[in-house]
Structure 1
Amino acid sequence: MRGVLRFHENPFQLVQIVNGEKRIYECPQSQIIRAVCSLKYWLQNNKYEIPIYYKIVMPNTNTFIKKRPKKVQLLFNKEISIFLEQLNSLPHKLNVEEFRLLCNQLKTHIKPYNPFPLCHKYNLQPESLNTGMICPCGALLEYSSRRGQCCSNCKAPKQVILEQTMLDWFQLFKPTITNKECREFLQIEDKFTISRLFKKMNLTSIGSTKSRVNHYDYNQPLFKK
């Protein structure tokens, strides 16, 4: 980060001023403190008694820190080696095998964060949300099989709008979709159009033709390249 930085507490905020423009971010201090608390809890539950050292590192040495953080020490990148040398002088807490075991345990417990579906997370009522092919600009596009169809407002191509709308479904409602649900959501009557659409997507199909459910696992792009 460049410009002038101020680290505030109560509440935690990071304020950046660049070319006279003021920007406010979530403070790295609160992020680090949450992460350390979680890691301490995990280590205790897994019978590890080892210390945790944590710092905020600023890679841009031209950044002017007008107000330094009070809860977490701040270092510039060239100070990292000095900090690590200080740690090397401390007594060992784990031998090599114990360290490898710890690393493997951590890897097996790491799970990607998935906030979806958002309706469930934020207690939204699905029926209160608009359906249809909605362009990122907010305009509604009525589906047509003709080539070259685009948004009448911003000229975004139909395929871009279609891909974003389908992503909306999985982010808002649930990780599965049927042909009927997709027709109702996109406001498209032709089931074969939906079947062709599904073939372009990274979905896992379960069940026979009439009861087929398509599942998306969120860990890969929704549409195939």
Structure 2
Amino acid sequence: MIVKEREIPLKIEQIDALLRNLVPNHFKVSVVQHDLKKRSAGYNGEKAIDYHLSFLSGKKYMIFNDLRLPLPPYHFQIDSLLVTPYYCLILEIKNISGTLTIDPEFNQLTKYYDGVETGFSDPISQAQRQSLLLQRFFYENKLVMPPIVYLVVISNPKTILKIANGQKLTPPYTKIIHAQNLIDEISKLNSKFTKETASKKDISKIKRVLLNSHTPLYTNILTNYGLEKSDLILGVRCEICSGKMERQHRTWYCHSCKFTSNTAHERIIEDYFLLIKPSITNKELRTLLGIQSPKTARLLLNALNLKTTGSTKGTIYHKEFH
């Protein structure tokens, strides 16, 4: 069963919001578009694995997608984690195009695509590191720990896997598989690990701790790209013609195309949380939306059901990312 669904990564949402709000013809647009394309490809590769995991049946499987767990002072991220009473399986998912050549002698992978050969970071080392970090996480949270294993899954069915000339495929590189072989590999693990090491109570605690510990990565996206707030066009814009909208008689009105909307402000508030900071005050909202009335701002904010701290004029409204 899927315990934690795979959602669009927060970083992709932030980059997408950045593209919507950058000033026209900004010189960083092409860089941001390239990053969005690259990250979206990775996310689509992860979603492709979900199709194969959907063939698993039985209550013994718990699937956690896109987990980011704390190990102070750092965090570590797992694309997919399969938890059973018998073992835990980490899936490191790679969406790679072209030909991937494995060289066990040098612990190196090489990608050949569109006539260009480039070195590729070793996903086995990454998966091994995740295994060690997950063991430590279980230990520090006093969780019963089934054996932890891993697989590197190539999500693109057109990717060709090859062994470097004169080399033989040896462990741990045998753990690099195509997505279509994932269920077969899980069946092998089921045959290998037959001793139940975690009770129903243990599994329930693992589930609770993993879900409660998940912490999405929120970064200052403007700083990441060397941008300032002045590089953005923030304000309520028309979804039809992108013209500026004004608040009139409890609705938003576009002078350019005469379109009206009751909810046009919601998009720019969400973008503000993604681009500027995950909190906002009544005054900041009025500046963002170009309205004068504190009462109107308060009504709009209350309708969003945000977490609040402080009171009266000092109230701060917080966006919680999950």
Task: Please give the TM-score of this superposition, normalised by the length of structure 2.
Answer: 0.46
1:74 corresponds, among 173, 178, 181, to 178
- The answer as to 2:209 corresponding to 1:108 is yes
Change (3 A) 1:207 1:33: same
The size of the alignment, in residue pairs, is 196
For 2:218 and 2:146, locate their aligned partners in 1 and report how far apart those are by CA, in whole Å: 32
For structure 2, the 5+ residue unaligned runs are: 1-47, 49-96, 102-107, 114-119, 140-144, 164-172
Q: What is the CA distance between 1:142 and its match in structure 2? A: 3.5
Taking structure 1 as reference, are residues 159 and 165 closer, same or farther at Cα in structure 2, changes over 3 Å only?
Answer: farther
**Aligned pair partner of 1:90 in 187, 192, 200:** 192
Any conservation in 2 of the 1:117–1:175 contact (CA below 8 Å)?
A: no
The sequence identity of aligned pairs, in percent, is 21
Displacement of 1:41 after TM fit? 2.0
1:74 partner letter: H
CA deviation string 1:177-196 (max 9, x = no partner): 11111111122122222122
The aligned counterpart of 1:201 is: 304
Alignment of 1:1-225 (within 5 A): 6-8=98-100, 30=123, 34=126, 36-44=128-136, 46=138, 50-56=147-153, 65=158, 67-68=160-161, 72-76=176-180, 80-81=183-184, 83-90=185-192, 95-97=197-199, 101=202, 104-105=205-206, 107-109=208-210, 110-119=213-222, 124-135=227-238, 139-146=242-249, 147=251, 149-150=253-254, 152=256, 157-219=260-322
Counterparts of 2:205 and 2:224, CA distance in 1: 31
> Which residue identity lines up with residue 234 of structure 2 in the other structure?
T
Q: Specify the code of the residue in structure 2 equivalent to 1:67.
A: I
Structure 1-normalised TM-score?
Answer: 0.62
2:147 partner letter: I
For the aligned residue pairs, the C-alpha RMSD in angstroms reads 4.3
Asked if structure 2 preserves the Cα contact closer than 8 Å seen for 1:151 and 1:158, the reply is no
Q: For residue 21 of structure 1, what is the aligned residue in structure 2? A: none
CA displacement 1:52-91 (0-9 Å, x = unmatched) = 1315376x9xx6x3623765122526x724x344334436
Q: Give me the whole-angstrom Cα distance separating, in 2, the residues matched to 1:13 and 1:193.
A: 56
Structure 1 gaps, min length 5:
16-26, 220-225
Please say which of residues 165-174 and 38-47 is displaced more in the overlay. Answer: 38-47
Q: Which amino acid aligns with 1:104?
A: K
- RCO (CA 8 Å, sep 6+): is it higher in 1 or 2? 2
